[in-house]
Amino acid sequence: MGERRVACVVTAKVPLSEMFGFTTQLRSATEGRGVPNLEFSHYAVVPRSVQEEIVASRK
């Protein structure tokens, strides 16, 4: 009871494609105490290089 709890909040905008596996990594790094809260922010135009990669992979 006498313990003081300390939280570290990280706020960032990250592409969804980069977030796969994040929860597992967070839990591993925090010994199971980390809690992710992912929230959609907005749609954005895909950079041309990424767009070409996606189109090429679909052919």
pLDDT digits (tens, 9 = 90+) for 16-26: 888 899 999 99
> With pLDDT > 70 as the criterion, what percentage of the chain qualifies?
93
Long-range contacts of 8-15 (CB under 8 A, 24+ apart): 13/41
**pLDDT, mean of residues 7-36:** 88
| Amino acid identity at 15 | P
Mean pLDDT of the chain: 87
Query: Is the model's pLDDT at 38 over the cut of 80?
Result: yes
| Amino acid identity at 14 | V
Give the span between the Cα atoms of 37 and 10, in whole angstroms. Answer: 10
Whether the model clears a pTM of 0.95, i.e. scores above it, the answer is no
